[in-house]
A = this chain, B = another copy of it.
Amino acid sequence: MAVYTDITDDELAALLADFDLGAPLSFKGIAEGVENSNFLLETETGRYFLTVYEKRVREEDLPFFLGLMRWLGEHGFPSATPIADRRGEILKRVRGKPCALVSFLSGLSVRRPGVAHCREAGMSLAQLHLAGAGFPMRRENDLGQPHWAPMFAGLQAQADALKPGLAAVIGRDLDHLGAAWPKGLPEGVIHADYFPDNVFFQGGKFAAAFDFYFACTDALAYDVAVALNAWCFEPDGSFNITAARALVAGYESVRPLSGAERAALPVLAHGAAMRFFLTRLHDWGATPAGALVKPKDPLEYERKLAIHRASPDLVLFGAAA
């Protein structure tokens, strides 16, 4: 939720000189994206977003992200499409940082998704998976299961500071996830961060998805598990089985899950909760006190971990046909 890079009118003019988009009419930093700086740009030809990639995004990953966004746009999935300059380049630079212009998206994110939103979320996630089929690039999930134990190695004291005794519990979770993690599930391009704030609705219907900067190649059902955690918990921490059923049913209306995928959902959801718990635990410790951008609460995902640990069947009930 912050603009980190400040772009002057002169720098913007120099960037736009490479494009055929006309003169700028309006340019505003927007409070979206924790990893990047985002600007809303209006020119004589239309509206665009300018994303400036800050250091947390690795520059070598950008061709994958931008290539995927272009691919999805060409394959009918509503998402921000990168705009090529006169020479066909998508990845540009401004103020010494990599950046890209993408098409403007209309829509609003929902703060508290209802059951109908969850159905749309599931349906659109399956559409994303189908649209991504055939995308020729690969990117390893660098926040996937094999990385969790090494990530946690440096965070044990922080876990115990968050909640005494938590480090040992997480350690046992990691052992369990390592042993039970499914292999051989159908893989493809996954969004890997399909949260309500990365999805736009209009009139209650799915309008577009964005923020593909965690996208990678991994089990498609893992993406469903991430979404179940992100969309189907109530503010009081309880798991909403009706919402989960709607999400899975929406998904399966477009792409039915195999038996193996369905059976794997409990451990995938447990693992997905671990992934977000670990990055939030890391960010929670790394953010200076008094910073305007508050880190997301790691305890939210600690509670989700506890639910999956104690009641893995909940997800299966949610996924029941």
Tell me, in angstroms, the Cα distance from A276 to B26 when the chains sit together.
28
**Residues of chain B lying within 8 A (CB to CB) of residue A112:** 8, 10
**Residues of chain B lying within 8 A (CB to CB) of residue A12:** 108
Partner of A290, one of B3, B108, B111, B289: B289
Q: Mark A1-27, 1 if CB is under 8 A from B, else 0.
A: 111000011101000000000011111
A29/B27 in contact, CB under 8 A: no
Considering only residues 175-227 of chain A, those with a C-beta below 8 Å from chain B are 202-203
Give, as a whole number of angstroms, the nearest-CB distance from A71 to chain B. Answer: 25
Q: Does A30 contact B (CB under 8 A)?
A: yes
**Residues of chain B lying within 8 A (CB to CB) of residue A29:** 1, 30-32
**Residues of chain B lying within 8 A (CB to CB) of residue A28:** 30-32, 40
A111/B25 in contact, CB under 8 A: no
Q: Does A288 contact B (CB under 8 A)?
A: yes
**Residues of chain B lying within 8 A (CB to CB) of residue A30:** 28-31, 40
B31/A2 in contact, CB under 8 A: yes
Q: Does A94 contact B (CB under 8 A)?
A: no
Q: Does A110 contact B (CB under 8 A)?
A: yes
Nearest B residue (CB) for A25: B106
Instruction: Classify chain A's interface size.
Output: 35 or more
Give, as a whole number of angstroms, the nearest-CB distance from A95 to chain B. Answer: 12
Q: Does A107 contact B (CB under 8 A)?
A: yes
Give, as a whole number of angstroms, the nearest-CB distance from A287 to chain B. Answer: 9
A111/B10 in contact, CB under 8 A: yes
Q: Does A292 contact B (CB under 8 A)?
A: yes
Tell me, in angstroms, the Cα distance from A26 to B10 when the chains sit together.
28
Q: Does A293 contact B (CB under 8 A)?
A: yes
Partner of A107, one of B25, B111, B293: B25
**Residues of chain B lying within 8 A (CB to CB) of residue A40:** 28, 30, 40
Q: Does A54 contact B (CB under 8 A)?
A: no
Nearest B residue (CB) for A27: B108
Q: Does A313 contact B (CB under 8 A)?
A: no
Beyond A23-B203, A40-B40, 14 additional contacts (C-beta under 8 Å) are A2-B2, A10-B112, A12-B108, A25-B107, A25-B108, A25-B202, A26-B108, A27-B108, A28-B30, A28-B31, A28-B32, A28-B40, A29-B30, A288-B290
Chain A positions near chain B (C-beta within 8 angstroms) = 1-3, 8-10, 12, 23-32, 40, 42, 105-112, 202-203, 288-293
15 A-B pairs, CB-CB below 8 angstroms? A8-B112, A9-B110, A10-B111, A23-B203, A24-B108, A25-B106, A26-B106, A26-B107, A28-B40, A42-B106, A288-B289, A289-B290, A291-B291, A291-B292, A292-B292
